[in-house]
Structure 1
Amino acid sequence: MARILLAEDDDSLREFLAKALRRAGHWVEAAPDGSEAEAKLDGNVFDLLLADVVMPGLDGIELARRASARDPELKVLFITGFAAVALRQRDGLPGAPRVLSKPFHLRDLVAEVDSILAA
């Protein structure tokens, strides 16, 4: 079981993703934006940051930079409808975070999360 921090601004998608990851056996802490996700980093240890790239306020790229500065071992997976943007902006993040493009099937998300955690 991994500890996953999920940052997604779409309420229904966030709930849907969290539920799927919990069913797959993971512990999930969900946040509606990058700022709230960053606050959840205080006093908590996560194995994976799963973040939407485009969110109001603190976006997923900057959230990943800040989270990785706190914990260089933290693995990152971006979800986005704007994969080309995410691929360009993830430069400089440790571990070359992967990007899962929307729309995706939940089994693909769970498989990608499991692959990242196993690496």
Structure 2
Amino acid sequence: MARILLAEDDAAMRQYLVRALEKSGYQVVSVDRGTAAIPHLEAGGFDLLLTDIVMPEMDGIELAQKAAAIAPDIRVMFITGFSAVSLRAGQAVPNSRVLSKPFHLRDLVLEVDRIFQGPSFGEL
């Protein structure tokens, strides 16, 4: 079972995403800010970092860059409501995916499924 670390500062959105991902068979650990994700990344065992981009204390792009240093094989997917910020995310973390808000939960789950069906997932 793939493990996902979710960093999302909006409590309602975070709960909504956790439920959808768990219902789809993923194990999810969620935090409310980027700085809270760091100890989880250091503990290891995550296959995907799913992070909002705009968050207090540490934005999702900085979090993804720190995640790459801590766990080089982790995959990254950003969620954001700001299109200009999504362009910056793609440049800062080139192998990441970006899903723009608003999105349907079905779309989120399909994107996460695609990440795990990629050719290199089984090789990690």
2:107 is the counterpart of 1:108: yes
Q: CA deviation at 1:118?
A: 1.1
TM-score by length of 2: 0.90
Alpha-carbon distance in structure 1 between the residues aligned to 2:20 and 2:80: 18
Q: Taking structure 1 as reference, are residues 89 and 107 closer, same or farther at Cα in structure 2, changes over 3 Å only?
A: closer
Q: CA deviation at 1:70?
A: 1.3
Q: CA deviation at 1:83?
A: 2.5
Q: Taking structure 1 as reference, are residues 94 and 74 closer, same or farther at Cα in structure 2, changes over 3 Å only?
A: farther
- In structure 1, the partner of 2:60 is 60
Q: Deviations over 1:44-99 (max 9, x none)?
A: 2210000000000111000000001112211100000013222224324252x110
Task: Report the count of equivalent residues.
Answer: 118
The 5-angstrom pairing of residues 8-23 of structure 1 reads 8-23=8-23
- What secondary structure does 1:66 align onto? helix
Alpha-carbon distance in structure 2 between the residues aligned to 1:39 and 1:86: 25
The 5-angstrom pairing of residues 9-48 of structure 1 reads 9-48=9-48
Identical-residue share of aligned pairs (%): 55
Paired residue type of 2:99: L
Q: Which has the higher helix share?
A: 2
Paired residue type of 1:117: F
Q: Structure 1 residues 36-45 or 8-17, which shifts more?
A: 36-45
What is the alpha-carbon root mean square deviation over aligned residues? Answer: 1.2
Give the unaligned 5+ runs of structure 1.
none
Q: Taking structure 1 as reference, are residues 92 and 20 closer, same or farther at Cα in structure 2, changes over 3 Å only?
A: same
TM-score by length of 1: 0.93
